[in-house]
Amino acid sequence: VQLQASGGGLVQAGGSLRLSCVVSTRTFSSYAMAWFRQAPGKEREFVASISYSGGSTYYTDSVKGRFTISRDNAEKTVYLQMNSLKVEDTAVYYCAVGLSIAASRTRPAYWGQGTQVTVSS
């Protein structure tokens, strides 16, 4: 399973970005998906996850109401729409595959390479 994340960049506070992650696997629709992030000097943290069908989503408290995770099983892609970005959202964002939605938050099976998001004040 290979994951390719894209969509990061430099944006001003209050702006928006949409991250994408394409997953190379024939069984994408059977996997839960998640986004994590790692800021400089900090540990990697969970951001959002989505069930295999897209029917269930979870978010860390700091992004609720601002970020939206979604997926397109036909395109084997998971998205993270990030609105009202804050300086503290600056991090490398990673997509991950989970064998269940619970596992996607705590024990992802596969990781992408990361995409840098920088929010300026």
Q: Give pLDDT, residue 60.
A: 97
> So what's the pLDDT on residue 94?
98
- Answer for the pair 85, 63: CB distance below 8 angstroms, yes or no: no
One-letter amino acid at 114 equals G
Instruction: List the 17-24 sheet strands across, edge first.
Output: 2-6, 17-24, 77-82, 67-72
Ramachandran sector of residue 55 (left: φ over 0; alpha: ψ -120 to 50; beta: rest):
alpha
> Which pLDDT value is given to residue 38?
98
pLDDT at 54: 94
The mean of the pLDDT values for the chain is 96
At 39-95, the pLDDT tens digits run: 999 999 999 999 999 999 999 999 999 999 999 999 999 999 999 999 999 999 999
* Mean per-residue pLDDT, 8-29: 96
Residue-level pLDDT at 109: 93
pLDDT on residue 41: 94
User: CA 44, CA 3: separation in Å to the nearest integer?
Assistant: 17
Tell me how far apart the alpha carbons of residues 105 and 99 are, in angstroms, rounded to a whole number: 10
Task: Give pLDDT, residue 19.
Answer: 98
